[in-house]
Amino acid sequence: MGGCYNKDAHPGSDICTAAKDGVCTACKADNGLFKNPAAPSEKGSECILCHDATGANGYKGVANCIQCQAPQSAGAATCTACQDGYYKNSQTCERCDEACLTCETDAAHCTFCKAGKYLDGDQCADICGSGNDKYADEATRTCKACSTITGCTACEYNPVTKKPKCTACSDKKVKTELDGTTTCVDANGCATDNVDGSHFLNQARNKCLLCSDDKTNTSSPPNKGLKDCGRCKKERDDAASTCSECLSGFYLEDACKTCDANCAVCSEKTLVDKCKISMQE
């Protein structure tokens, strides 16, 4: 290719970076082409594809090569990068293992996996590990260690935060924030008995729960928060948490109830003078 093209219009613009009288004088290396070194070259063969293993005038590419350098003498170009699904082995492109979308160094050294699999080190796996010490990052399709959260020994992927959610810590408590992120903290980092805070310790003292968490361990009241509660306290381990303040948009009346539509913060729902912060402010 490379003959009778306008370098400023398709398809010439995909092949040539320079042309004279409709013939390419420089080829577009970024598109996997090199200039045929033969002088003169066969008409229409001024540019040779890096993967064209037939070529022209004794000059050729390398099968399954995507980027290359022109040969200095008759023969194959020097391949610098192979197509997806192949890896560079000296001057040839060899096929990756079936599970690999891309690989390097050897067929089994995967760098990216095909759909439905996750990259675990340099291997492609259906699941991430046999235990819970790794999680499958859906965004990158890789297996990552739960220890990215300091002290975390078991976790799972949270599709809402797109981050790991710790489910167990080595010698600390799992603490969940309002945005869904988790950390491992000691008891003092969670709550102090009978002191208001945003979290409380469950009865077993192994989890640090949000005051608004009314779903975790709901079979046992001492482990249950109050929906939409912002601050609470527990008098003792076997006591239920007591809500002292609701989240914005709610007011406390036995339960946390929704403010009037015009209020961002309120102390009661219906009376205008109980609207502490208006939505219009």
Domain segments of the chain: what residues?
12-95, 127-185, 186-247, 256-281
Q: Cα separations (Å) of 279 from 98, 228, 263, 276?
A: 57, 19, 5, 10
Cα separation, 184 vs 165, whole angstroms: 11
Q: By the 8 A CB rule, do 200 and 241 touch?
A: yes
User: Which residues have C-beta within 8 Å of that of residue 1, sequence separation ≥ 6?
Assistant: 15, 24, 33, 44, 45, 46, 47, 48, 49
Q: How many CB atoms lie within 10 A of CB 103?
A: 25
What pLDDT, on a 0 to 100 scale, did the predictor assign at position 205?
A: 66
Query: Within the chain, which residues score under 50 in pLDDT?
Result: 2, 281
Exposure on the CB side of residue 175, measured as CA atoms within 13 A: 21
- Render the burial of 72-81: b for 16+ CB within 10 Å, e for the rest: eeeebbbbee
Write down the pTM of the prediction. 0.64
pLDDT in tens, 179-199: 889 999 887 777 777 888 899
Return the pLDDT at 277.
61
Q: How far apart are the C-alpha atoms of 193 and 203, rounded to whole Å? A: 12
In DSSP terms, 257 is beta-bridged to 251
